[in-house]
Structure 1
């Protein structure tokens, strides 16, 4: 396992003074995909509120309690047209499916939550509903992932807090890269990549942020966005996870959201790649990144390097923000 990077120094003349900026091109230790860490952090500041948008979107939101029964799509195959419910969480079909089985889980009855208002139970209830629907799958190999976009900078078309689950017979591009690379690593080392990564990061100490129940948390060496953290659970397959393991994952997510709040951030993405049905070489892993703050005049942080070069840009140093997160663990 190698933490490889190249370093370039850019110089600009500004106000008769030469300013130097260090750019690190980092290689993901598993897939060798690159990202660029630019050591020049922009300010993350919410300058205008968006209360007007919260209220205006509430009037038509299909996920609000008064509309969800009549407006959401339902699965006719696995769920026979029924909705799955657990406390405030409700699972239903995505009206615009991304895969053979494409589900949405409404997390809360509240139409909008400040990033500090999410509770561990919101995610726990959603994950138990996902486990329930996965229990209804027939035999076969599937690539299963869980994702969340919160607020417009993260790509969410609906403000109401929700997550998604994709169950596909064909992997997404990055999922396939991880699968192939993890299999090669397993065959060479007789252990899965994520266990080896967590052990290595604990030894180095630079990017290890801390632990919640049965889950280790590190900052990604080659980040895919701002404040990219990776959760590595002790139990490998999502469907087989104990209540203690689910609790540890959800607790870690909430602690990271509180950390984001301390940084003035309010928008984020989550992606969980599940090991279920893939084999011993793969371990469920949780990825979470912050997005630029949403306000009346928010700006997007995905541009041509990501769209066309498939290369992420981060202005934040993983080794530095891992230490900062450790105070929340």
Structure 2
């Protein structure tokens, strides 16, 4: 089974009020792994005014924020002793504690540092690396103490436009006996691919995309970066941890390389006016599953004077992602930062 990049076009033809013919093209792309579709739609010229949360940060930080340094050890819950006998997990400035409102059987919150409001350009590779290392440590403790957990992920809602309810930067780490829809679709499709191939899908995808070059962005260490062919958002960057098969294979150097690349992606967002995003890191806990760890990140934003959400019925109910941007054009922007 080869990796195929299939797409088809539809054209909507109509007339302006003056009688001028108008043709609008929609490009439908099929995900090379799952076959799910997404649509590249007409871009009337998306211009964004990035929100500034500085005043909100002044009002919500310090004594008003449970994640700030003066409160975090008093206002956040603690893990049972089988996870850690210190109550919380720490790596550098990053601190992990239980989520009071969990989404799953295991749900840790990772606070990056004591800094309450961090703009995209102010994140450091050290901050990002330490947060993901702390998340990895928590996942390893979950697996050691609960053999029923089969599905884990590291997730990030950055700022309110992406669903972040607290400005203070933090990750969500999920461990469950039940897969999310994304995890189940990916796992099933990867298994089907591997029945007829000698390579893990995401390993092979990085090889193919690098050879084609259209959506390829670059490599830092063993972390390969590219834009998704069938995007789940108006950008959809994919990071693949090459030569890894599970969460246990990812080293501190890998996280440092990942953090360095992620900061470059932040530059790509900033150039386009994006300030907010959702991030997912898909991780296997089975070293024999050939499930190459990968990350996806999409920007989130609002449009116009009404602050209209970038997600409408098409994404929310039809479960069909839309993008104003062509992946190949965004990859070209990103390559200049990696080069």
Q: TM-score, normalised by structure 2?
A: 0.91
- Given the superposition, is the C-alpha separation of residues 258 and 268 from structure 1 closer, same or farther in structure 2, using an over 3 Å criterion? same
Shift of 1:146: 0.5
Shift of 1:73: 2.1
Are 1:30 and 2:33 an aligned pair? yes
**Match runs of 1:137-286 below 5 Å:** 137-138=144-145, 139-234=147-242, 235-277=244-286, 279-286=288-295
- Secondary structure of the residue aligned to 1:209 is strand
Question: Equivalent residue for 2:10?
Answer: 8
- Given the superposition, is the C-alpha separation of residues 142 and 295 from structure 1 closer, same or farther in structure 2, using an over 3 Å criterion? farther
**46-55 vs 89-98, greater mean Cα deviation:** 46-55
Are 1:82 and 2:81 an aligned pair? no
Query: Which of residues 62, 67, 70 is equivalent to 1:66?
Result: 70
CA distance in 1, matches of 2:335, 2:11: 30
Shift of 1:81: 6.4
Shift of 1:45: 1.9
Are 1:97 and 2:73 an aligned pair? no
CA distance in 1, matches of 2:260, 2:51: 30
Are 1:319 and 2:322 an aligned pair? no
Query: Which of residues 294, 306, 309 is equivalent to 2:315?
Result: 306
Are 1:116 and 2:121 an aligned pair? yes
For structure 2, the 5+ residue unaligned runs are none
- Given the superposition, is the C-alpha separation of residues 39 and 319 from structure 1 closer, same or farther in structure 2, using an over 3 Å criterion? farther
Question: Equivalent residue for 1:52?
Answer: 55
Shift of 1:92: 0.5
**251-260 vs 14-23, greater mean Cα deviation:** 14-23
- Secondary structure of the residue aligned to 1:239 is helix
CA distance in 2, matches of 1:270, 1:41: 27
Determine if contact 2:245/2:287 at 8 Å carries over to the other structure.
no
CA distance in 2, matches of 1:105, 1:29: 33
Shift of 1:41: 5.1
Question: Equivalent residue for 1:126?
Answer: 131
Determine if contact 2:107/2:173 at 8 Å carries over to the other structure.
yes
Query: Which digits, 9 at most, give the CA deviation of each residue in 1:237-266, with x for residues without a partner?
Result: 222222221211111111101111122211
Shift of 1:24: 0.8
CA distance in 2, matches of 1:207, 1:238: 26
Moved over 4 A (4+): 293-297
Q: TM-score, normalised by structure 1?
A: 0.94
**Taking CA–CA contacts closer than 8 Å with sequence separation of 6 or more, which of the two structures ends up with the larger relative contact order?**
1
- Secondary structure of the residue aligned to 1:156 is coil
CA distance in 2, matches of 1:18, 1:81: 69
CA distance in 2, matches of 1:180, 1:61: 41
Shift of 1:140: 4.3
CA distance in 2, matches of 1:294, 1:162: 25
CA distance in 2, matches of 1:295, 1:165: 33
- Given the superposition, is the C-alpha separation of residues 205 and 276 from structure 1 closer, same or farther in structure 2, using an over 3 Å criterion? same
- Secondary structure of the residue aligned to 1:245 is helix
Aligned residues: 329
Determine if contact 1:46/1:293 at 8 Å carries over to the other structure.
no
